């Protein structure tokens, strides 16, 4: 939970794809990572999306703190 709100499923794709300038993948730090969430149901509203933004920011901060990026 974040700020008392239940979270939607969010996942991280590591090394999602190489950057344009790293097509040969010779630089392991020049990869694109993706945080994904699919909040698709009839109850999604503006508040749900605001919560999702908080979740993505918290996930980003945790990923950085854990040394993924």
Neighbouring CB atoms inside 10 A of 51's CB total: 19
Q: Please state, in angstroms and rounded to a whole number, the distance separating the CA atoms of residues 28 and 18.
A: 9
Count the alpha carbons within 13 Å of 44 in the hemisphere toward its beta carbon.
11
* Overall pTM surpassing 0.85 (yes/no): no
Is residue 13 within 8 A of residue 37, CB to CB? The reply is no
Give residue-wise pLDDT tens across range 25-52.
Answer: 788 777 777 888 887 778 888 888 888 8
Q: What is the dihedral of CA 21, 19, 49, 56, to 10 degrees?
A: -110
Give residue-wise pLDDT tens across range 1-31.
Answer: 666 766 777 787 776 676 777 778 788 777 7
Spell out the domain ranges in the chain. Answer: 10-65
DSSP lists the bridge partners of residue 10 as 37
């Amino acid at each position: 939970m974040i700020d008392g709100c239940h979270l939607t499923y969010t996942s991280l794709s590591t090394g999602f794809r190489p950057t344009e300038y790293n097509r040969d993948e010779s630089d392991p730090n020049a990869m694109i990572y993706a945080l994904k969430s699919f909040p698709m149901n009839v109850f999604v509203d503006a508040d749900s999306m605001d919560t999702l933004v908080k979740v993505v920011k918290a996930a980003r901060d945790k990923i950085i703190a854990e040394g993924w990026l």
